[in-house]
Structure 1
Amino acid sequence: MGATKSWTRDEVAVRILAGEHLIVFNGHLLRIPSSWLDAHPGGALAILHFVGRDASDEIEAYHLDQTLTLIPRYSVGRVELTDDAWQPLVPPVMSGWVRKPSADGKSTEWFSEAAPQRSAVDTSLSPSSQILLVSKDDNDCHAAPDRAALEPPPTSLSLKVQTNHSQAYKLLHKRIVDAGLYKTPYLTGYGPEVLRYILLGCLSAYAYHHSWFITSSVFLGLMWHQLVFSAHDLGHMGVTHNWAIDRLLSILIADFIGGLSIGWWVENHNIHHIVTNHPSHDPDIEHLPFFAISSAFLSSLWSSYYKRTMWFDRFAKIFVAIQHRLFYIVMLFARFNLYANSYTYLYKKAFDTRRARGGRWAWGLEVIGLAFFWWWFGRVLYGCGSWQTALAYLLVSHAVTSPLHVQIVLSHFSMSTADLGPTESFPHRQLRTTSDVICDESIGFIHGGLHLQVTHHLFPRLPRHNLKRASALVKEFAQEQGLTYAEFGFFDGNAEVIGVLRGVAEQVKLMGKVANVEAKEAIEKRLAQKKFT
């Protein structure tokens, strides 16, 4: 990193307000050009969430070694540290500000897509550091963010302590690397899995050939359930560690065999990992009108990922009030929601002239893959003989995959959704918002090894079959740093999630009762006024 200029915090803030994308990496200031922001394989939001912040841990966790060697070219100098730590700024996107093309199309300008709502109290559920996004006021005439918008709200976290966590995490990462845990166990890990996929596929075809359609649908659903684990690994570049090869393989599995867009999943999942459990930014907990795992959602929050307001309207009130009873029913049909998100993503990308690296060929191959999926799966349904049997085949095959969706939400729905601000370190945030699902090693394959979500969130590129060994090191790290490593049994985890859903549902019911009482009092008051007039 050749640049020698030393940047102060105020100088960085001025440049950010001028529209530059500046992030801190190992004491250096990186200027990310708009051209790379658009071409970033992890999506633009993955970068925007770290403008003005130290992204050292996240960058090293998510990028291959050969990619890290390219980063120095973006350095514009070093930053001035306070007690060996960078005092973070609030990324504009987290206050509702984004850059959009100007009217002449030759430059970009600030655009307010939502209004920041800073917490007026300081509780565990709504800390003083929290910034949520809501629909902006049409009368808001601010043309650009000001200096105050970049200043973090008060936080209970110590920057020094968080820096210590970060430094300890770097040492932990080195231990993981030195232990050889990034080496993919092709034969011992994926060998048995490939055999399992083939067996389930053959059993489904055999049953279908003998007109045992429901049995066939069960085995097909089980194959999809198992295949998604490998698609997940490939999306994280955790198999061959080569972006092009992993993307090709993941398209084959996810699109051609599973009917889902791996491109959508990677973009969605990257953001989930970066801003885990943040109500305004993590798409994996934004499920209105069906679920709300925090009372924050009752304020009709804006989603920076979906670019829309998640309205807590009459429809949402009905569902959220009984969400703890509908949870498993909705999970049975969760795969259909994945279809909707996949196809919406690919449709939008068809009109995106600034696709990420490899986006053009990958997009085209995905479209071909989805067409192929519905060709072969459509023939399967048509061959069932009647629409009733075809419908049953469709529903059963998709419902069989539901335990996967339940498992994934167990690791997050019961954890904290509070925003502790940009001061919070990467390891602190992941341990606070993520938990493991405890299971016997003999049945770990049912969960695909992803029941070890804490370790996976700390080291997303780590081959899934090495998570067990790595988790022992992570537990030592957590104990040494005074951090909580959360883990629940499968049934206890379900109870925790249902408890969270029931808690929010009861708040909705209480709000309804209060509203009814207030409405009744207002009517009585009005009638009394008419009586005396």
Structure 2
Amino acid sequence: MGATTLWTRDAVASRILAGETLIIYRDHLLRIPQSWLNAHPGGSLALLHFVGRDATDEIEAYHLDHTLTLIPRYSIGRVQLTEHGWVPLVPPVMTGWVRRLGPGGKQEWFQEAADARSLGDSEVSPSSQILLVQKSDASSHSSAPSLSSLQPPPSSLSPEVQARHSKAYRALHKRIVDAGLYKTPYLTGYGPEVLRYTLLASVSAYAYHHNWLMTSAVFLGLFWHQLVFTAHDLGHMGVTHNWAVDRLLATLIADFIGGLSIGWWVQNHNVHHLVTNHPSHDPDIEHIPFFAISPHFLSSLWSSYYKRTMHFDRFAKFFIAVQHKLFYVVMAFARFNLYANSYTFLYQKVWDTKRARGGYWAWRLEIIGLIFFWSWFGRVLYGCGTWQRALAYLLVSHVVTSPLHVQIVLSHFSMPTGDLGPFESFPHRQMRTTTDVICPESMGFIHGGLHLQVTHHLFPRLPRHNLKRASALVKKFAKEEGLTYAEFGFVNGNKEVIGVLRGVAEQVKLIGQVARVEAQEAMDKKLAVADEVYTGQQKSI
């Protein structure tokens, strides 16, 4: 169909049910071919979470101007709007439906999970919420999603207000651009950082040369801690703003120097940014069996990112019951979890013949980078002399990076996890689920400038060193729109997170107590019945 075609909501829904990937951008209906869905640099889930929805704000926040000029080629017409814009549909992936190759080699619908819609309306379980759980034998065995599954549950949000927020956000984005905040301050921003990286690496090497192993390990950990901030910027195309150049530099830093996969991080992080704090879809809050920041995780939810059920089993019950006590212990070893996720991702890509943009060179370069990393770092550990000293060096260097992991979770763990549905605008969702960590300007380098997470989530490509200037504009925007710009100090932020973890832990204990009481009551009933039977037998004798 031509670009002049006017699509109704029902017609769009019908084509989605037929298997097409349709997304709305500035009133245009975009049809995303399977080839681009496979090759999208941000991963397929970044697109699938917006099927049937208006993704204008998200698309413009994540893409360069040059990329935006290419989008019209995917347009198959315009959509029919209401007074407050497009009335969204629920993306099939958010109700457990995905497309995959069938026995005949063609794309077919497959239900990977069952959807569980909220029966009430509270902050934790809003009426608009849809969570995913493992399919059971009693689940529907439909061969495809239905029209009813695409219809959003009732929402407490006002479409008029959300449309206003979106319009105001676009005006804010223009002010950000006009202020020149997308221009990277190479000299004043990255100049001091390169000097800092060089100093930390040099001190680590000097200490190692003099056999001051623990001192060397500490400074190596500090070097990794600081360097990851630049890898983060490059992953967002926030440095040179050229995908190939930024990815090459990011691979050098993340893979060759840090031993982590930048490919995994980009895919994971993009999904986190787009569906922030959603229990079934945001991988950055899915940490079963060690952490659960929402009581919904106690229901063994399905993860659309990890493609598995996050089982609330005995192992999880034990850890989550004491998660507030083990928080810092687990965070101390968080870097090892990054290794596990990185290598799992790259292993899966071995069998993926449709790798994302960059094709084989990006994947191959990462593999070369990891071999290089473990060659030089393995040599460092071997040079420690004994396995005990090597183990101590390994642990110290990795534990030193843990404040970074603590900082990142502070920005989300204490914020709401309720799903307000597809009606929620991009700025409303980001400001509702994200908070800043307040710190003196002189200490900002410790956080890498990423303590300003609210502004970063609204403008992910914005150079990190410009976040402070941009945050002043965001705070003004929030005040004008009646939105909350959440922020708290590092100490209070830790208290908030521990409080959330303690709250869920207490619910786990309560569930255990209820289970024990019910078990005892059941046993008492069985004993009473047995006693009656025995008494009756005695009387008959």
Q: TM-score, normalized by length of structure 1?
A: 0.99
Q: Can you list the C-alpha shifts for 1:376-408, whole angstroms capped at 9, x where unaligned?
A: 000000000111110000000000000000000
Counterpart CA distance in 2 for 1:141 and 1:484 is: 43
Describe the SS at the equivalent of 2:183: coil
Q: Can you list the C-alpha shifts for 1:95-125, whole angstroms capped at 9, x where unaligned?
A: 00000112111x2110000000000111111
Q: 1:2 deviation in Å?
A: 6.9
Aligned residues, how many? Answer: 532
Counterpart CA distance in 2 for 1:238 and 1:138 is: 47
Q: Is the 8 A contact 2:320 2:505 kept in 1?
A: yes
Q: Paired residue for 1:45?
A: 45
Describe the SS at the equivalent of 1:132: strand
Q: Paired residue for 1:529?
A: 529
Percent identity, aligned pairs only, is: 77
Q: Which amino acid aligns with 2:214?
A: I
Counterpart CA distance in 1 for 2:473 and 2:409 is: 24
Describe the SS at the equivalent of 1:443: helix
Q: Is the 8 A contact 2:128 2:154 kept in 1?
A: yes
Counterpart CA distance in 2 for 1:64 and 1:50 is: 19
Counterpart CA distance in 1 for 2:180 and 2:495 is: 37
Q: Paired residue for 1:492?
A: 492
Q: Which amino acid aligns with 1:189?
A: G
Matches within 5 A, 1:374-385: 374-385=374-385
Q: 1:516 deviation in Å?
A: 0.2
Describe the SS at the equivalent of 2:506: helix
Q: Paired residue for 1:31?
A: 31
Q: Which amino acid aligns with 1:192?
A: P
Q: 1:357 deviation in Å?
A: 1.0
Describe the SS at the equivalent of 2:85: coil
Q: Paired residue for 1:393?
A: 393
Counterpart CA distance in 1 for 2:451 and 2:137 is: 45
Within the alignment, does 1:227 sit opposite 2:232 as a pair? no
Q: Paired residue for 1:125?
A: 124
Q: 1:211 deviation in Å?
A: 0.3
Counterpart CA distance in 2 for 1:443 and 1:528 is: 68
Q: Which amino acid aligns with 1:142?
A: S
Q: Which amino acid aligns with 1:359?
A: G
Counterpart CA distance in 1 for 2:15 and 2:34 is: 14
Matches within 5 A, 1:66-81: 66-81=66-81
Matches within 5 A, 1:411-430: 411-430=411-430
Counterpart CA distance in 2 for 1:2 and 1:500 is: 52
Q: Is the 8 A contact 2:109 2:143 kept in 1?
A: yes
Within the alignment, does 1:408 sit opposite 2:408 as a pair? yes
Counterpart CA distance in 2 for 1:115 and 1:102 is: 20
Q: Is the 8 A contact 2:29 2:79 kept in 1?
A: yes
Q: Is the 8 A contact 2:436 2:487 kept in 1?
A: yes
Describe the SS at the equivalent of 1:319: helix
Describe the SS at the equivalent of 1:532: helix
Counterpart CA distance in 2 for 1:246 and 1:208 is: 31
Q: Paired residue for 1:249?
A: 249
Q: Paired residue for 2:539?
A: none
Q: Paired residue for 1:477?
A: 477
Q: Which amino acid aligns with 2:157?
A: L
Counterpart CA distance in 2 for 1:341 and 1:124 is: 32
Counterpart CA distance in 2 for 1:474 and 1:360 is: 40
Counterpart CA distance in 1 for 2:141 and 2:501 is: 38
RMSD: 0.8
Q: Paired residue for 1:465?
A: 465
Q: Paired residue for 2:536?
A: none
Ranges in structure 1 where 5+ consecutive residues have no aligned partner: none
Q: 1:84 deviation in Å?
A: 4.0
Q: Which amino acid aligns with 2:280?
A: S
Q: 1:307 deviation in Å?
A: 0.1
Q: Which amino acid aligns with 1:123?
A: S
Q: Paired residue for 2:3?
A: 3
Q: 1:503 deviation in Å?
A: 0.2
Q: Can you list the C-alpha shifts for 1:226-266, whole angstroms capped at 9, x where unaligned?
A: 00000000000000000000000000000000000000000
Q: Paired residue for 1:103?
A: 103
Q: 1:54 deviation in Å?
A: 0.2
Q: Which amino acid aligns with 2:500?
A: V
Describe the SS at the equivalent of 1:117: strand
Matches within 5 A, 1:290-329: 290-329=290-329
Counterpart CA distance in 2 for 1:358 and 1:170 is: 31
Q: Which amino acid aligns with 1:211?
A: N
Counterpart CA distance in 2 for 1:62 and 1:398 is: 31
Q: 1:141 deviation in Å?
A: 1.4
Q: Paired residue for 1:446?
A: 446
Counterpart CA distance in 2 for 1:459 and 1:435 is: 14
Q: Is the 8 A contact 2:84 2:159 kept in 1?
A: no
Q: 1:138 deviation in Å?
A: 2.9
Q: Paired residue for 1:202?
A: 202
Q: TM-score, normalized by length of structure 2?
A: 0.98
Q: Which amino acid aligns with 2:442?
A: S
Label 1:2 to 1:174 Cα distance change in 2 as closer, same or farther (>3 A): farther
Superposed structure 1 runs of 4+ greater than 4 Å apart: none
Counterpart CA distance in 1 for 2:47 and 2:357 is: 15
Counterpart CA distance in 1 for 2:141 and 2:472 is: 53
Counterpart CA distance in 2 for 1:520 and 1:312 is: 22
Counterpart CA distance in 2 for 1:91 and 1:393 is: 47
- Report which stretch shifted further, 138-147 or 251-260: 138-147
Matches within 5 A, 1:342-361: 342-361=342-361
Q: Is the 8 A contact 2:449 2:464 kept in 1?
A: yes
Ranges in structure 2 where 5+ consecutive residues have no aligned partner: 534-541
Q: Which amino acid aligns with 1:363?
A: W
Describe the SS at the equivalent of 1:421: coil
Q: 1:493 deviation in Å?
A: 0.1
**Structure with max Cα Rg:** 2
Describe the SS at the equivalent of 2:483: coil
Matches within 5 A, 1:333-348: 333-348=333-348
Within the alignment, does 1:112 sit opposite 2:111 as a pair? yes
Q: Is the 8 A contact 2:264 2:345 kept in 1?
A: yes
Describe the SS at the equivalent of 2:330: helix
Q: Paired residue for 1:137?
A: 136
Q: 1:359 deviation in Å?
A: 3.1
Q: Which amino acid aligns with 2:325?
A: R
